[in-house]
């Protein structure tokens, strides 16, 4: 019975390990970068949530990757580019313009089409009168 209780207690300690993860930094600027990057990266598992507010295992893995790369001296752009290569463009809340140029220009195209259609419609109505 004592062995069973020890195993049960140990399993709870191992399970709760991720909940109390702490990251130690040499300087405050690296720590600020770490928490800032956490807010910029979305959790691939949780919809609409950043990894800062997620307890998913994949979010913990991404946090560890960001932490490691900050300690290696990589810039924020390098870290985000690496995460985009692994998880795709949707991992960041700020999509790049180059890969999504059509999506950025689509509202302008629709607006111009509406103006063009309205002009044609108004010209036809003027000719009938």
pLDDT tens, position by position, 46-63: 888 889 888 889 999 999
Q: Are 21 and 60 in contact (CB under 8 A)?
A: yes
* Integer CA distances (angstroms), 129 to 122, 123, 124, 125, 126, in order: 11, 10, 9, 7, 5
d(CA 109, CA 129): 31
Residue 68 pLDDT: 94
| Structure-token pair, residue 123 | 């010209």
CA distance 38 to 26: 18
**pLDDT beneath 70: ranges in the chain:** 2-21, 95-99, 128-129
Q: What is the pLDDT of residue 2?
A: 65
Give the per-residue pLDDT at 128. Answer: 66
Mean pLDDT (the chain) is 82
């Amino acid at each position: 019975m004592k062995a069973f209780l020890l195993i049960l207690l140990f399993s709870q300690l191992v399970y709760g390990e991720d909940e109390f993860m702490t990251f130690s930094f040499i300087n405050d600027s690296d720590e600020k970068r770490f928490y800032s990057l956490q807010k910029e990266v979305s959790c691939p598992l949780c919809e609409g949530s950043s990894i800062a507010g997620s307890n998913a295992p994949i979010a913990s893995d991404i946090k560890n990757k960001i932490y490691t790369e900050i300690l290696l001296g990589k810039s924020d752009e390098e870290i985000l580019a690496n995460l985009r290569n692994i998880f795709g463009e949707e991992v960041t809340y700020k999509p790049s313009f180059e890969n999504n140029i059509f999506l950025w220009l689509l509202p302008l195209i629709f607006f111009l089409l509406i103006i063009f259609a309205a002009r044609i419609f108004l010209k036809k109505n003027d000719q009938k009168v």
